[in-house]
Amino acid sequence: MTKILLTLFGLALIVGQTNATIQCGTDVMPKVMSCGSYMVGPAPTPSKECCVGLQDLAKIAAASQPDRKAICTCIAAAMKTVPVDFEKAKKLPDLCHFKPFMPLDRNPDCSKVI
C-alpha cells in the first residue's frame, strides 16, 4: 500500500499543470492519498480523512472550472497507475457526501469537465 501511495505522489509531482491555481502534487494528491485503503485496498468504507479531503476538493472544484479540470487531470493520471476499484470509487460521493466533480470511470475525459 505504501508503494502505491508513493507512486501516486511521485506521479502527481510530474503531471503537467494547467492554468488552474490548484496544484496536483501539493493540493490534490495529499487530499486523495488517504482514500487508498478504500479504493485499492480491503477497507469496506472510506476513512474520515478521505471524505474530508474529497469534500475539500469538491468545494474547490465547484468554485473554478480550471481547477475542476486540473483536479480531474491529476486524479485521472494517478488512476492509470493504480488498480482502482471503480465500483468502490463510484460510491464515494454518496459515502462522503459531496457532489462529484469529475467522471468516476477508468478513463475520464477531463477535457469535457465544465
The pLDDT value given to residue 11: 43
Instruction: Give 39-96 pLDDT, tens digit per residue.
Output: 998 999 999 999 999 999 999 999 999 999 999 999 999 988 888 999 999 999 999 9
Radius of gyration of the chain (CA): 13
17 CB-near residues (< 8 Å, 6+ apart): 23, 24, 70
The pLDDT value given to residue 21: 84
pTM for the model stands at 0.80
Quote the cell numbers at residue 69: 479540470
The pLDDT value given to residue 19: 52
Report whether 84 contacts 77 (CB < 8 A). Answer: no
The pLDDT value given to residue 18: 43
Tell me how crowded residue 56 is: count the other CB atoms within 10 A of its CB.
14
Domain CATH number, residue 28 = 1.10.110.10
Count: domains in the chain: 1
d(CA 26, CA 30): 7
